Chain A
Amino acid sequence: MSKIHVTTTVNGDEREFLCTPGQTLLDVLRGELGMTGSKEGCGSGDCGACTVVLDGEMVCSCLVLAGEAQGRSVSTIEGVAEGSQLHPIQQKFLEHAALQCGFCTPGFIVAAKSLLDRNPDPTETEVRYWLAGNLCRCTGYDKIIKAVMDAAAELRQERTAA
Chain B
Amino acid sequence: MNAPESKDTFKVVGTRPIRPDGVEKVTGKAIFGPDYKASNMLFGAIVRSPHPHARVRGIDTKKAEAVAGVHACVTGADFPTLEDTIIRMGESAGSTTDMSQNVMAQGTVFYDGHAVAAVAATSQEAADEAAALIEVDYEVLPHVIDINDAFKQDAPVIHKDQRQTGLGEGEKAGPNVSTKFVMANGEMAKALEGAAATVSEHYSLLPVHQGYIEPHACVATWKADGKIDIWCSSQGAFNIRMLTASFLHLEIGRIRVMPLEIGGGFGGKNSVYIEPVAALLSKKSGRPVRLAMSRSDVFRATGPAPGAEIDVTLGADADGKLVAADVTFKYSAGAFRGTDAMTGVMHAISQYLVPAFSVTGWEVICNMPKHAAYRAPGAPQVNFAVESAMNELADELGLDPLDIRIKNAVAPGMPSMMGTPFGEIGLVECLEAAKVHPHYSAPLGPNQARGVACGTWMNFGGPSTASVSIAEDGSVLVAEGNPDIGGSRASMAMMAAETFGISYDEINVTIADTSSIGFSMMTGGSRTTFATGKAVVEAAQAVIEILCERAAKMLEVDVGDVEWMDGEAVSKSAGKRLTLKEIAVKSGATGGPISFEKGVNPLDHLPGYGVHICDTEVDPETGHVTVTRYTAVQDVGRAIHPAYVEGQLQGGAVQGIGWALNEAYIYNKDGTLDNAGFLDYRMPVASDMPMIDTVMIEKPNPAHPYGVKGVGEVSIVPPLAAVGAAVGNAIGKPMRDLPISPDRVYSAMNGKG
B264 to A43, Cβ gap below 8 A? Answer: no
A136 to B647, Cβ gap below 8 A? Answer: no
B213 to A93, Cβ gap below 8 A? Answer: no
Q: What residue of chain B has the Cβ atom nearest to residue A77's Cβ?
A: B28
Q: Does B25 contact A (CB under 8 A)?
A: yes
Complex Cα–Cα for A36 and B266 (A): 23
Over the window 630-673 of chain B, the binary record of Cβ atoms lying under 8 Å from chain A Cβ atoms (1 yes, 0 no) is: 00000000000101101110111111000000000000000000
Q: Smallest Cβ distance from B122 to chain A, in angstroms? A: 13
Complex Cα–Cα for A145 and B691 (A): 9
Residues of A within 8 Å of B644, CB to CB, are 97, 100
Q: Does B295 contact A (CB under 8 A)?
A: yes
Binds B, one of A65-73, A101-109, A152-160: A101-109
B212 to A94, Cβ gap below 8 A? Answer: no
Report B479-517 residues with CB < 8 Å from chain A CB.
Answer: 485-487
Complex Cα–Cα for A96 and B691 (A): 14
**Contact for B679 among A44, A80, A81, A97, CB less than 8 A:** A44
B27 to A104, Cβ gap below 8 A? Answer: no
**Contact for B654 among A40, A134, A140, CB less than 8 A:** A140
A94 to B487, Cβ gap below 8 A? Answer: no
Report B555-573 residues with CB < 8 Å from chain A CB.
Answer: none
Report A119-162 residues with CB < 8 Å from chain B CB.
Answer: 125, 127-129, 131-146
Q: What residue of chain A has the Cβ atom nearest to residue B694's Cβ?
A: A142
A141 to B689, Cβ gap below 8 A? Answer: yes
- Per the CB 8 Å criterion, the residue count for chain A at the interface is 58
**Contact for A44 among B32, B34, B678, CB less than 8 A:** B678
Complex Cα–Cα for A102 and B692 (A): 19
Binds A, one of B16-24, B198-206, B279-287, B696-704: B16-24
A137 to B213, Cβ gap below 8 A? Answer: yes
Q: Smallest Cβ distance from A87 to chain B, in angstroms? A: 9
Residues of A within 8 Å of B304, CB to CB, are none
Over the window 1-39 of chain B, the binary record of Cβ atoms lying under 8 Å from chain A Cβ atoms (1 yes, 0 no) is: 000000000000000101101110111111110110000
A137 to B25, Cβ gap below 8 A? Answer: no
B28 to A106, Cβ gap below 8 A? Answer: yes
Residues of B within 8 Å of A30, CB to CB, are 34-35
Q: Does A90 contact B (CB under 8 A)?
A: yes
Q: What residue of chain B has the Cβ atom nearest to residue A79's Cβ?
A: B28
Q: What residue of chain B has the Cβ atom nearest to residue A38's Cβ?
A: B28
Q: Does B294 contact A (CB under 8 A)?
A: yes
Complex Cα–Cα for A43 and B293 (A): 11
A100 to B214, Cβ gap below 8 A? Answer: no
**Contact for A105 among B26, B648, B651, B684, CB less than 8 A:** B26
Over the window 675-717 of chain B, the binary record of Cβ atoms lying under 8 Å from chain A Cβ atoms (1 yes, 0 no) is: 0011100011111110110000000000000000000000000
- Per the CB 8 Å criterion, the residue count for chain B at the interface is 58
Q: Smallest Cβ distance from A85 to chain B, in angstroms? A: 11
Complex Cα–Cα for A78 and B29 (A): 8
**Contact for A90 among B26, B32, B647, B650, CB less than 8 A:** B26
Complex Cα–Cα for A39 and B215 (A): 10
Q: What residue of chain A has the Cβ atom nearest to residue B265's Cβ?
A: A101
Complex Cα–Cα for A84 and B22 (A): 13
B295 to A100, Cβ gap below 8 A? Answer: no
Complex Cα–Cα for A19 and B191 (A): 73
Q: Which of B264, B677, B679 counts the most A-chain CB atoms under 10 A from its CB?
A: B264
Q: What residue of chain A has the Cβ atom nearest to residue B632's Cβ?
A: A140
B651 to A36, Cβ gap below 8 A? Answer: no
Residues of A within 8 Å of B29, CB to CB, are 37, 78
A99 to B25, Cβ gap below 8 A? Answer: yes
Q: Smallest Cβ distance from A158 to chain B, in angstroms? A: 18
B650 to A97, Cβ gap below 8 A? Answer: no
**Contact for B686 among A1, A35, A131, A137, CB less than 8 A:** A131
B26 to A132, Cβ gap below 8 A? Answer: no
Q: Does B263 contact A (CB under 8 A)?
A: yes
Q: Does B743 contact A (CB under 8 A)?
A: no
A102 to B27, Cβ gap below 8 A? Answer: no
B27 to A86, Cβ gap below 8 A? Answer: yes
Chain B residues packing against A (C-beta within 8 Å): 16, 18-19, 21-23, 25-32, 34-35, 125, 210-215, 261-266, 294-295, 485-487, 641, 643-644, 646-648, 650-655, 677-679, 683-689, 691-692
Give me 24 A-to-B residue pairs in the complex whose CB atoms sit less than 8 angstroms apart, sorted by A's number.
A37-B28, A38-B28, A39-B214, A40-B34, A47-B295, A76-B28, A77-B28, A78-B29, A80-B27, A93-B26, A101-B265, A103-B213, A105-B25, A129-B687, A132-B688, A135-B678, A135-B685, A137-B651, A138-B651, A140-B653, A141-B650, A142-B689, A143-B646, A143-B650
Contacts beyond the supplied A41-B215, A46-B678: 19 A-B pairs with Cβ under 8 Å: A20-B125, A36-B35, A40-B215, A43-B295, A44-B295, A46-B295, A86-B27, A90-B27, A94-B23, A97-B16, A101-B485, A103-B214, A103-B264, A129-B686, A131-B685, A132-B685, A140-B653, A143-B643, A144-B686
The 8 closest A-B pairs by CB, nearest first: A37-B28, A103-B263, A102-B25, A140-B654, A140-B650, A77-B28, A46-B678, A97-B643
